[in-house]
Amino acid sequence: MTPAPLTADEMRALERAAIGSGAVTGSELMERAGRGAVDAIRERWPGLGRATVLCGPGNNGGDGFVIARLLRDGGCDVTVHLFGALDKLPPDARANHDRWAATAPVGRIGTDAVTPETDLWVDAVFGIGQTRALPEEVVAVLASARDSAAPLVAVDVPSGLASDTGEVLQTFRPGADLTVTFHGPKPGHLTGAGPECCGKVVVVDIGL
């Protein structure tokens, strides 16, 4: 049975409770989320040659770094770009950034060119906590991704879509071919513009 939709606050509370109980660490949850996303990606698009992963300034971005690493471990040529200040990344996200950066470069959204030559885009820029319009630099990259021939995978929700309401938060209308979310669906997957923007929604069990 699919769990009932969870608001952003409810999802955060579940994660805090699990971490606070000692049942799991934040790092372990991030690893499980990234692995679940990669499993869903490979089931839909086996044999990927190239992927471009767009990471944001929060834990959604941390999931993106895990996804990038695991895709690369599976033989994919992966390029990673980060939006936001590196020193403001949460600890678990920063650890996964540093793990990636120790072996490969990290481009910067808004500063470095993002190549469109890819077989897959991963949108891990903003997750369930987004409530404001996307910055122009992010819109420019996501618009290129959305309009390219390569499929786009959103982590939790497409950036620019409110996870609690399904509201599009700016003029740019996000769109994904696949959205991978964790533990349970979010209201925004099911209401408002969500069904149109999210594509197929896959719920991954991360052991909460």
Residue 109 annotated as part of some ligand binding site? no
Residue 112 annotated as part of some ligand binding site? no
Residue 148 annotated as part of some ligand binding site? no
Residue 61 annotated as part of some ligand binding site? yes
Residue 39 CA to residue 30 CA, distance in Å, equals: 14
Residue 27 annotated as part of some ligand binding site? no
Residue 96 annotated as part of some ligand binding site? no
Residue 131 annotated as part of some ligand binding site? yes
Q: Please say whether the beta carbons of 112 and 86 come within 8 A.
A: no
Residue 59 annotated as part of some ligand binding site? yes
Q: Which tokens go with 110? A: 């808004």
Residue 30 CA to residue 7 CA, distance in Å, equals: 19
Residue 132 annotated as part of some ligand binding site? yes
Residue 63 CA to residue 179 CA, distance in Å, equals: 13
Residue 170 annotated as part of some ligand binding site? no
Residue 111 CA to residue 48 CA, distance in Å, equals: 27
Residue 18 annotated as part of some ligand binding site? no
Residue 63 annotated as part of some ligand binding site? yes
Q: Which tokens go with 17? A: 């409770």
Alpha helices in the chain (DSSP H): 8-20, 26-44, 59-73, 91-101, 136-147, 187-190, 194-198
Residue 153 CA to residue 138 CA, distance in Å, equals: 15
Residue 177 annotated as part of some ligand binding site? no
Q: Which residues are annotated as a binding site for (6S)-NADPHX?
A: 59-63, 127-133, 156
Q: Which residues are annotated as a binding site for K(+)?
A: 60, 123, 159
Q: Which residues are annotated as a binding site?
A: 59-63, 123, 127-133, 156, 159
